Structure 1
Amino acid sequence: MTFHGGITETILFNGWHINNVSGMISSVIGIILLTAIYEALKSYRESLFARTAFLRKNQRESRNALLFSKVHFFQTFLHVIQVVLGYFIMFIFMTYNYWFCIAVGVGTAVGYWLFAWEKSNNDNTNCCL
């Protein structure tokens, strides 16, 4: 396998087959959006976890009640979606088409810039590098 820049590709499924420049451009835009959505989901899950952890500290619920809570089921559902999207993005990158690889990088940067800016602005002095 080598990196290449062709415009004839099948991406993830047989139904996502491109063989022209307009298909390549729209696929690159779609990959950027998919990767940004992945970053948004990741940031949302982190903030949801932080909020629920704070609430759990203030409540005296048993561990079994937390295991079967609606929030935990929702977090589990979101985790599955995030893992599946992550594998899709990995498979897209593994086409070795450098346009798609660049799209994954751009989508990651755009998604982090849009959705994780609060995390980078927090003054967290409890952490060491």
Structure 2
Amino acid sequence: MSGLDQYKVAAAQRVTEVNAREITPGNPQPMLRSVVSLEYWVDRGGNVTRVALYRSNGDHEAERIAIASLRRASPLPAPSRALVDSSGRVRAVETWLFNNDGRYQLRSVAAPQIDGQ
């Protein structure tokens, strides 16, 4: 696992801890309500400095929930010096997997989806 992938796992664990009430327990359902990917930048201290919608199926409520959950979790763990670029930030993309009830898991730490068969 690359250094960035390890960082994404640590960041996803932080988002999951801070937003525990919104997390899907167990496995995500086979046909997800929404999949939202966010591109985000973190400074040397772990502060989320920018968030942008990277990919979505157009579910604006899920997009809002994903962005809010990431902002609530800031500061994230401080990135290693090796990950920080010349602007002093790390760029990552994370994906939120939403069940029909509006709860979610983050792909970097998600349990496998339930087999739909």
User: Taking structure 2 as the reference length, what is the TM-score of the superposition?
Assistant: 0.28
Structure with max Cα Rg: 1
